[in-house]
Structure 1
Amino acid sequence: MGRPGAPWTIVALIVILIGVALSAPTGGAVPVVNLSIWGGYPEIAPVYQRAADAYQQAHPNVKVTVLTTDLRDYERKLAASLPSDTAGNILEVEASTVERYLEAGLIPKAPTDMAQFVRSRSFNKSAQDAASLANDVYGVPWFAGVGAFYYNTEMFKEAGLSAPPKTMDEVMAFAKKLAKTDAQGRVVRSGISLRLFGAGSGVAEKFAILMWPRGGDLLTQSAPGKYRAGYDNDAGRATMKMHLDAVFVDKVDSLDIKHDAEAFELGQTAMLERESWVIGDIQKNAPTLKYLTTPIPRDKRWGTIIGVVSLYVSRSAANPEVAWDFVKFLTQPQFERQLLGDVGWIPLRQDVNLDPVFATSPQYRGFLVKDKAYVYWSMPSIKDFDEIETKLASRLVAAYRDRTLAGNPAAIANMLHAAA
């Protein structure tokens, strides 16, 4: 889960803390408490700012520094700073990343009151599990990256399509009607923007999202603690064929045009699978764009990926009780609604009324499907997963450029078998 990177952004938030469990020195002056929040999502800084502004109305003497960078740089910074006890006090960490730090004892358990809060009805089981290891709670679920399909309603109307695709087969059938080429046969508007290239593990994650409905997984558990590739099968081969056909056979996407949210916002693609943050991005960059969202189309299965980000307190935090108090403060309804409405990430408290956000941005409904048949699934939380996913991504990027694989089922099967 991720979004385009941004440079380091430092926002100094000065807040006053009343009633913290700190004793004043003999002279009567209340000591300053310094807190730092680190994260890999710079767009969330305004939420922290608003929370800090509200916090200072009730509490004196805490200085909070927010430090954010793009996700990959942030993950590298965590890997270096947690073992040396130089990390920030409050940390945003994805479930797929945090387990290695929990097992190494680099992030302590949450205090009893916070554990009780996480285990309450405020959070669903998937969020609770993501912030826990075994039976112990370590963090507070904060937000999630949830996948859905975006579609340009004007392009759909132009193509004679009255509704979004409901099945994976319809996705490609619709893409053929929506794509446009020039006189030389080059794609100038894609019917669907697929993740065909990029650094890191994202290419493999997007492959998995389109493979999962067909019955495939990047990894399947073969025994306790043991995993094997789950894409060397019909589901993996069908998904690889989908990508290759899109580029070389049906020409509904291209390696030579813009992709991802930028392409959608510029009107250069008709469909896109992405997380909810794109809605907030569209509000800023393309406010007149006519579009809606829809759940991931179904095949053998129906559902979407969920990548949970929780807030943790590092073992090096000098004032952990203050850090946890601020974390709890952040989960109030007004900040959860701001997180969704202004930023675009899905908040994880399930007891917060989000109707005010839906009233102004109905597109968010495509990410919050209340149907028992719709599954919210996640990647395995194992310490080597990112490395495994990144290695597969590099193979996929090479394969998507290999014209000889298109229309060659045996070659596709061999490629996936070799990757597994």
Structure 2
Amino acid sequence: MFRPLELFIGLRYSRAKRRNQFISFISTVSIICITISVMALITVMSVMNGFDNELRSRILGAVSHATIAGVGESIHDWQGTVKQAEANPHVRGAAPYVDLQAFLQGTYGSTGTMVRGIEPSLEPKASDIDKHMVQGRWDSLTPGSWNIILGKELAMQLGVTVGDHVTMFVPQFRATPLGAVPRIRGFRVSGVFEMGMQQYDSGLALVNMTDAEKLGELSGPTGIRLRLDDLWNAGPVSRELSRDLGQLYSVRTWMQENSNFFSAISMEKKVMGIILSLIVLVAVINLISMLMMLVTDKQADIAILRTLGATPRSIMATFMVQGVLVGFVGIGLGVGLGSLLSWQLPNIVDWIQNVFHVQFLSPDVYYISNVPSKLEAVDVGWISLVTFLFSLLATLYPAWRASRTQPAQALRYE
């Protein structure tokens, strides 16, 4: 005989043709509502993961995973420090840099900006700026060439392009017969990059590190930028490097530099997940209605089962099978359709934009002009679990009502 009995009867109720077709309709509506809510949750979480991943990749493409800075103004033996840092098994690359605050004047405009002196041969080990060149050549930043590479928006503000010249004013004053004047130097624009982030495209210029040291009257780089094998391991690695390098150096991570920004994104995702979970709760209300009507419709069957020796616990489990089955079907369909939609969402959005000639995210306004999507198994797992728990809780009260049925009262008018 089929065991357990509660599962057998519950599945038989699900397969049998009910006398009340309205109950079947409510059951179908419950499955559809759960499917839509799960699909919506998975899709929204995937889009938020996509934007989060896009922002991280763009920010971390210009910002290193960790940075070593000296206690003084510069690091004198930076070659030895780089070798010591790369000896750590978690460090994949290291590159020295010099940061200067400067004022640039171009053909049609002027603005203040951050000037970073780099070694073109080493910088790709720590950042991805070289992969985002839109004009010019990355290897043009040779020592003594006084070439400069600008962010795309910065070049537009200055009104210059490759081959034009800009004047740089560095707030390192020197005494002259006319008084204290800032250091002034002319540069030739040899390249333009576009990271897709305003912070860098409009506020960062790159020069050779030797040229930057001369302008800032420095004897070495101001720091060393590191790329790690796992950016989430930046905290422990920074502590290891601080211990190995000693008190003459300090190590900061990307988490410390951008903690508020990424914390806000993480909090927004959590709040959005909680709010959208209410959609599942609304869908579950239909499940409660369906089970309550089913219990009313099966009063005579419940009474007969009780007279045959079924316990209230067995009756309760029988009707819980109904609700759990509806939840399983809705979750399965929702996960399948939601995963498929999340996978193809960028292509679907592009197709809609091409067919109807609309632009959802204008590149003139937004730095991420596409709709990214990244499906993560963790999100699918917790969405499925939460929906299952809601479905399970929704079955408790109707199943309890069924278990409280009195056989004599239920069969009185049968």
Fold similarity call, TM over 0.5:
no
Higher relative contact order, chain-length normalized (CA < 8 Å, sep 6+): 2
Shorter-chain TM band = under 0.3
State which structure, 1 or 2, has the greater radius of gyration over its C-alpha atoms. Answer: 2
Name the structure where helix makes up a greater proportion of residues: 2
